[in-house]
């Protein structure tokens, strides 16, 4: 059974190293994390690909939950028009002085 690599130890001499060390002070081994990282396995990449295909929009079926966007736009429109009227009123008063 393969042991998981400990990133706080040098993979060559097992001496403790800091997380920010570029190399081991004892044996000189390069500790660049990107070179140790093997990345996702083939099964993880395949699962990600399948999830990406299945989570797209459906064709021929209406999407549910679209009323939230309409409601948010309506509230934003009302609030922005009120703020615009207040700014216009203040500017008209300042211009009258």
Q: Which two tokens stand for residue 93?
A: 């008063």
Q: How many CB atoms lie within 10 A of CB 25?
A: 13
pTM of this prediction? Answer: 0.33
**Cα–Cα nearest to 8, from 25, 39, 28, 21:** 21
Q: What is the pLDDT along the chain (97 residues), one digit of tens a residue?
A: 556 667 788 888 989 988 888 888 899 888 876 666 677 888 888 888 777 776 656 566 555 555 667 778 888 999 999 999 999 999 988 876 5
SS3 track for 4-71: CCCCCECCCCCCECCCCCCECCCCCCECCHHHHCCCCCHHHHHHHHHHHHHCCCCCCCCCCCCHHHHH
């Amino acid at each position: 059974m393969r042991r998981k690599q400990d990133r706080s130890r040098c993979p060559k001499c097992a001496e403790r190293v800091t997380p920010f060390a570029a190399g081991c002070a004892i044996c000189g081994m390069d500790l660049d994390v990107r070179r140790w990282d093997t990345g996702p396995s083939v099964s993880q990449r395949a699962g990600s690909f399948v999830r990406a295909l299945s989570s797209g929009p459906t064709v021929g079926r209406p999407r549910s939950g679209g009323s939230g966007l309409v409601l948010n736009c309506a509230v934003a429109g009302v609030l922005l028009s009120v703020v615009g009227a207040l700014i216009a009123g203040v500017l008209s008063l300042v211009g009258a002085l």
